[in-house]
Amino acid sequence: MKKEYQHIFEPFTVRRMTMKNRIMMTPMGTNYGESSGEMSFLHINYYEQRAKGGVGLIMVENASVDSPEGSNGTTQLRIDHDNYLPRLFKLTETVHKHGACIGIQINHAGASAQSARTNMQPVSASDIPSKAGGEIPRPLSKDEIMRIVKKYGEAAKRAQIAGFDTVEIHGGHSYLLSQFLSPITNKRTDEFGGSLENRARFARLVIEEVRRQVGPFFPIFLRISADEFMEGGNTLEDSLEYLKYLEKEVDVIDVSCGLNGSIQYQIDANHFPDGWRSYMAKAVKERFGKPCVTMGNIRDPHVAEDILARGDADLIGMGRGLIADPDWVNKVEFGDVCDIRKCISCNVGCAGNRIGVNRPIRCTVNPAVPEGDIYKALKVNKNCNVVVVGAGTAGMEAACTAAEVGCNVFVLEKNDHIGGLSTFISDLPSKTRMKDFPKYLEARAARLKNLYVFLNTEATVDKIKQFKPDIVVNATGSVPLVPPIKGLKENIDAGNVNTIFGMINNVNAGKYPEEACQSKKVVVVGGGSVGLDVIEYFAPRGAECTIIDMLPQIGMLADPITKCSMRETHDKYGVKEYVNTALQEVKENAFTVKLPDGTIQDLTFDYGFNCLGMRSNNPILPELQEAFADTHTYIYTIGDSVRARRIMEGTMEGRAILNVLESQDYLHLEPLE
Ligand SMILES: Cc1cc2nc3c(=O)[nH]c(=O)nc-3n(C[C@H](O)[C@H](O)[C@H](O)COP(=O)(O)O)c2cc1C
Ligand code: SF4
């Protein structure tokens, strides 16, 4: 064991469970289950990968104790009937084979359930929705509360029978118990409302019932939103108060935070530093002397080690870090931490998919979340030369994947660094985490002796031909879209209006220090992610910001965390939003726009930004197609060169070079169940 990380690798015992190290995978809904609420085999494989990767304890995602009434999300796991036992047992058996412990989070969604899925009005403490614009729930009667208490107990017992080592009761994140705990959603006047003791009564009954069912040797975790980070919600001090009614039968307190309306604190936006929340766990631990879990953007093993060494928490919770890299723990223990594929907290593939649009989780940096990097066992059956044009993230993923299965790979990059757009964007102070992805790709590439990266090298057909390519990957990315709007191009050329590229160059050249932003009028055209990045830079630096979009909402296509974070920033700094608004003309110091009522207005600016999107950029693709027509050389276009999209699609297409290799008879891929 590396001394450097001795606290991470210290075993941890609670009642009759001993974890081999201090890393707990936090519960995260995946949408990998069957629509019946049963686990799928791919789902089991997903958890097995993390167990193999060395994690001490896996806390399986929230499972419903009472469906359909208490269900949450599409294909949520169920634990409210014995039918689910065999598959759950298969899961615990599989995970245990790799030396990991496993628990399951038991939950009732309350007002966060949706009648469209359940066919019934959601229930809660009172008739207050669990999020803005959510459904109005029906307050539970005392008899109903007691019925649900029993359901929790039965679910915990079932978990024990299925071979889990522990259960976690979900008392946070705007689900039923949290709806009772929070003064925002609990307006009751009976013994379940009013004082902190009363609001904690339901959770206390649940904990007591769970203990009755599981007996004295089985550890119980309780997850809470220690600070709800909402106006009128529980503060850390309030939580320390109510915990005194709950802690007796609880063995480990899993100290999370945030509600639906402050989800950027719960599933941390990328600007929060690693481990920023550990002060909350520390406060809980100091007050009750119970082991605590802390989590939140913890990606760096040194940060994890320091938190444990300081004694702020006893366990490090890691969620997205393990979606991005199932081998995080093993890499820290046995390998090189530079090999860790760090989560960049973009929330696109995980929260964006699962919470945003009901898709199964995916990941920007990991193109094989549930199946794992099994392709690494494959080798091409004959020589294959691959030339990759463009060392952006898509190109580098293709290059590394091809080299890992034995191709000879040559990457031609015109810049002096790899990473393309993501390296560039990560120069923004709030986007520095994004740098971790190109850094990882660079380290991965450096280990591959059959992969050669040529920087400062413009790709030409002649140069490419010298490598005798069997496959050419065209990964030349995208450039800002400049639609034919009167005055736009001219004012960009004249430097009156900037794109994100111009802006970042100016930031790097020190042209936008705080004093140059104070009280300046900043107008951004385009309310997508790039436009939001510009506002995120200028608004906190004192600029008067305005953002316009033709769509009915700013950030309409963003993931729920970005949306919530944006709302907080825009409200805090008074950012003006114009929606259903079209750009008509660009002047030297004004955007002329058409408002939804047809009025034409000039929005004057000191700094104007065109963030109307990106378009694919294919400087040599037509030449390549012509040069290699009627040859065996296969041309594979990926990422933004196909169509400007998110980094995630490029990574997926980079990895999908495996399918090209199969189609060209270099490889045989085994289908996964
Ligand atoms: C896709 C997704 C689903 C989540 N589902 C749950 C859940 O089922 N129960 C829960 O308590 N927290 C859930 N969380 C929160 C995580 O457990 C974790 O606390 C949070 O992501 C912060 O930790 P991290 O920065 O290590 O990811 C979810 C997070 C994500 C990204
Ligand atoms: S999609 Fe983004 S936030 Fe989610 S796990 Fe992957 S890198 Fe992290």
Residue 343 CB–ligand 2 contact under 6 Å: yes
Can you read off the two tokens belonging to residue 570?
A: 């825009």
Give me the mean pLDDT over the 644-666 stretch: 97
Residue 357 CA to ligand 2 center (angstroms) comes to 15
Does residue 670 register a pLDDT over 90? no
pLDDT for residue 10 is more than 60: yes
How far is residue 404 from each of residues 366, 398, 445, measured CA to CA in Å? 15, 10, 9
148 lines ligand 2 (CB under 6 A): no
Q: Is 28 in the pocket of ligand 2 (CB under 6 A)?
A: no
pLDDT at 95 over 60: yes
Candidates 490, 449, 429, 412; CA nearest to 273 is 429
Atom of ligand 2 nearest to the CA of 320: 5
Atom of ligand 2 nearest to the CA of 437: 7
- For the cut 60, the answer to whether the pLDDT of residue 673 exceeds it is no
Establish whether residue 472 lines the binding site of ligand 2, counting it when its CB lies within 6 angstroms of any ligand atom. Answer: no
Tell me: the pLDDT tens digits for 327-363? Answer: 999 999 998 899 999 999 999 999 999 998 999 999 9
Which pLDDT band, with edges at 50, 70 and 90, does 74 fall under? confident
Q: How confident is the model at residue 671 (pLDDT cuts 50, 70, 90)?
A: low
Q: What amino acid is encoded at 164 in this protein? A: F
The confidence score (pLDDT) of residue 672 equals 59
Q: Is the beta carbon of 323 within 6 A of some atom in ligand 2?
A: yes
CA nearest ligand 2 atom 6, residue: 363
CA of 269 to the centre of ligand 2 (A): 11
Q: Which of 5, 84, 175, 636 is catalytic?
A: 175
Sign of CA dihedral 405, 407, 408, 413: negative
Per-residue pLDDT for 662 more than 90? yes
Ligand 2 atom closest to Cα of 345?
Answer: 3
Give the residue, out of 50, 299, 347, with the most ligand 2 atoms within 8 A of its beta carbon, to mutate for a pocket test: 347
The residue contributing the CA closest to ligand 2 atom 8 is 343
pLDDT of residue 669: 86
DSSP code string of 520-578: -EEEEE--SHHHHHHHHHHGGGT-EEEEE-SSSSTTTTS-HHHHHHHHHHHHHHT-EEE
Band of residue 184 on the pLDDT scale cut at 50, 70, 90: very high
Ligand 2 center–CA 533 separation, angstroms: 18
Residue 270: CB within 6 Å of ligand 1? no
Does residue 352's CB lie within 6 angstroms of at least one atom of ligand 2? Answer: no
The pLDDT tens digits for 457-508 are 999 999 999 999 999 999 999 999 999 999 999 999 999 999 999 999 999 9
User: Up-side HSE of residue 118: CA atoms within 13 Å toward CB?
Assistant: 24
Of 323, 437, 646, 648, the residue with max ligand 2 atoms within 8 A of its CB, to mutate for a pocket test, comes to: 323
Structure confidence at residue 73 (pLDDT) = 83
Can you tell me the distance from the alpha carbon of 130 to that of 257, in angstroms, rounded to the nearest whole number?
Answer: 15
Q: Is the CB–ligand 1 distance for residue 271 below 6 Å?
A: no
Closest ligand 2 atom, residue 350 Cα: 4
**Residue 366 pLDDT > 70, yes or no?**
yes
Prediction pTM value: 0.96
What order of strands is seen across the sheet that includes strand 385-389? 451-454, 408-412, 385-389, 471-474, 634-637
pLDDT of residue 664: 96
Mean predicted confidence (pLDDT) in 130-159: 97
Distances (CA, A) of 21 to 10, 317, 324: 5, 12, 20
Strand pairing of 478-480 and 614-616? antiparallel
pLDDT score for 378: 95
State the pLDDT confidence band at 1, using cuts at 50, 70 and 90: low
Active site residue 242: no
Nearest ligand, CA of residue 299?
A: 1
Q: Cα 212 to the chain's mean position, in Å?
A: 36
Cα 262 to Cα 127, 213, 265, 271, 356, distances in angstroms = 20, 34, 6, 15, 15
Look over the chain and give the mean of its residue pLDDT values, rounded to a whole number: 96
Q: How far is the CA of 173 from the centre of ligand 1 (A)?
A: 10
Q: Give residue 303 CA to ligand 1 midpoint distance, Å.
A: 19
Q: Verify whether ligand 2 is closer than 6 Å to residue 652 (CB atom).
A: no
Closest-CA residue to 340 (of 360, 361, 318):
318
What ligand 2 atom has the least distance to the C-alpha of 349? 1
What's the CA-to-centroid distance between 636 and ligand 2, angstroms? 26
Instruction: Decide: 345 in ligand 2 pocket, CB within 6 A.
Output: yes
**Residue 361 in contact with ligand 1 by CB distance below 6 A:** yes
Please work out, in degrees rounded to the nearest 5, the angle formed at the alpha carbon of residue 559 by the alpha carbons of 275 and 61.
60
Ligand 2 atom nearest 366 alpha carbon:
6
